[in-house]
Amino acid sequence: MSAVSDPAVPDLVAGARELLRSCLAVTGDDRVLVITDRRTRPLADVIVAEARALTRAALAVVPEVTGDGYARARAEIGRALDAHRPTVTVFAAADPGDLVAWDGTFWARLDQLGARHAHMPALDDVCLGVGMAVDYAEVARFTLAVRDRLTGCRSVRITSATGTELTLTCAPERPWTPFTGLYGCAGEGGRLPQGEVFCTPVDAEGMLAVSVVGYPFNSATGLLPEPLLIEVAGGRAVSLRHPDRELESRLRDWLGGAPDGLRLGELALGTNRALPALTGNLLFDENVPGTHLAFGHPFPEFTGADWESPVHVDMVVERPSVRVDGQAVLTDGTYAGSFDDNRREQNRSRA
């Protein structure tokens, strides 16, 4: 796999190769289906070409996945799944509302097929050519190391130059779940690019300064020129402030109009150290070394939370510093050297 030295020059073929060979473990026995639309077709063509070097592969071009046209797009996706009965699927169509991710019938059909799945709803050149053109075995190793460091912690303190001053309380018995990006077994799948560890905190107090807002706002907002400020008390957002009053109002209505939409449901650390900086694309940014939090649904099947919500909006902090039980884990978006020190010590013990 070729290295990417300049994030402005994505290596699309290397990204497609890592996606198929490492993340999805495609072999000659597989049937690959790539789902795309006109907007992302050029990138899907790269993925299909690499898949055909390994096994049988098909491309399904579906209508634009939007609110009004979603039923038609979903029907086309269903027909493609029935026709090809894939063992590996890649969703590489634009989905600005993240509608497919919340469609239980789509995931149930993948489960019936036993398909390994890569979900890439905001695929662009940087996601494929930088976010995927990395060593995912190393991403997995480091992600598990961060998971081990966070397991059992009680307190997480997040600060940033943009204005974050937030203290979160964690329950030591609740799990921290790693997403490594490796989906090699039947029925496994998730978003790519990848690399994060997350939990549901039990309380939070302070100020959160957000540079990237997640779905369904992300495609319209990108990288915010000024941070969105969210005051948090008792584990809930109690005020939102931003110069863009329309964004502020829409976000307040979206979260405030849903049961537990203002409740903090996720605390996550991005663990893909090959990703250089925030881009404004949540699919990429939530894996950049740093932290993101989400209001709304806590994904209790992963976190052990005892509540749910119909909404989930991620909030990415730019270049944060993170202290866990008083010890530095991240400083200005860079992980402490102790993670690599531990790896060197393990290698010495094997020698």
Average pLDDT over residues 37-58: 97
Whether the per-residue pLDDT at 37 is higher than 80: the answer is: yes
Which pLDDT score is estimated for 339?
72
Q: Which pLDDT band holds residue 4 (cuts at 50, 70, 90)?
A: very low
Q: Which two tokens stand for residue 273?
A: 């150290």
Q: Tokens 């020190």 map to which residue?
A: 341
Whether the per-residue pLDDT at 295 is higher than 60: the answer is: yes
8 A C-beta contact, residue 248 and residue 306: no
Whether the per-residue pLDDT at 1 is higher than 60: the answer is: no
Q: Which pLDDT band holds residue 290 (cuts at 50, 70, 90)?
A: very high
Domain 12-131, CATH: 3.40.640.10
b (16+ CB within 10 A) / e for 169-178? ebbeebbbbb
pLDDT in tens, 66-106: 888 899 999 999 999 999 999 999 999 999 999 999 999 99
Q: How far from 204 is each of 194, 212, 254, 264, 265, CA to CA, in Å?
A: 26, 20, 21, 8, 11
Average pLDDT of the chain is 93
pLDDT in tens, 158-207: 999 999 999 999 999 999 999 999 999 999 999 999 999 999 999 999 99
SS (H, E, C) the chain: CCCCCCCCCCCHHHHHHHHHHHHCCCCCCCEEEEEECCCCHHHHHHHHHHHHCCCEEEEEECCCCCCCCHHHHHHHHHHHHHHHCCCEEEEECCCCCCCHHHCHHHHHHHHHHCCEEEECCCCCHHHHHHHCCCCHHHHHHHHHHHHHHHCCCCEEEEECCCCCEEEEECCCCCCCEEECCCCCCCCCEEECCCCEEEECCCEEEEEEEEEEECCCCHHHHCEEEEEEEEEEECCEEEEEECCCHHHHHHHHHHHHCCCCCCEEEEEEEECCCCCCCCCCCHHHHCCCCEEEEEEECCCHHHHCCCCCCCCEEEEEECCCEEEECCEEEEECCEECCHHHHHHHHHHHHHC
Average pLDDT over residues 285-296: 98
Whether the per-residue pLDDT at 247 is higher than 70: the answer is: yes
How far apart are alpha carbons 6 and 179 in whole angstroms?
26
Whether the per-residue pLDDT at 331 is higher than 50: the answer is: yes
Pairing of strands 116-119, 88-92: parallel
Average pLDDT over residues 302-316: 97
How far apart are alpha carbons 42 and 19 in whole angstroms?
16
Q: Which residues contact 10 (CB under 8 A, 6 or more apart)?
A: 4, 125, 126, 128, 129, 130, 133
Q: Kindly compute the dihedral angle of the four CA atoms of residues 185, 46, 12, 196, in this order, to the nearest 10 degrees.
A: -30
**Cis ω before 310 (30° cut-off from 0):** no
Whether the per-residue pLDDT at 38 is higher than 90: the answer is: yes
Which pLDDT score is estimated for 130?
95
Average pLDDT over residues 143-165: 98
Q: Which pLDDT band holds residue 8 (cuts at 50, 70, 90)?
A: low
Question: According to CATH, where is 3.40.640.10 located in the chain?
Answer: 12-131
348-350-351 Cα angle (round to 5): 65
Instruction: Tell me how long the chain is.
Output: 351
Backbone angles phi, psi at 18, to 5 degrees: -65, -40
Whether the per-residue pLDDT at 3 is higher than 80: the answer is: no
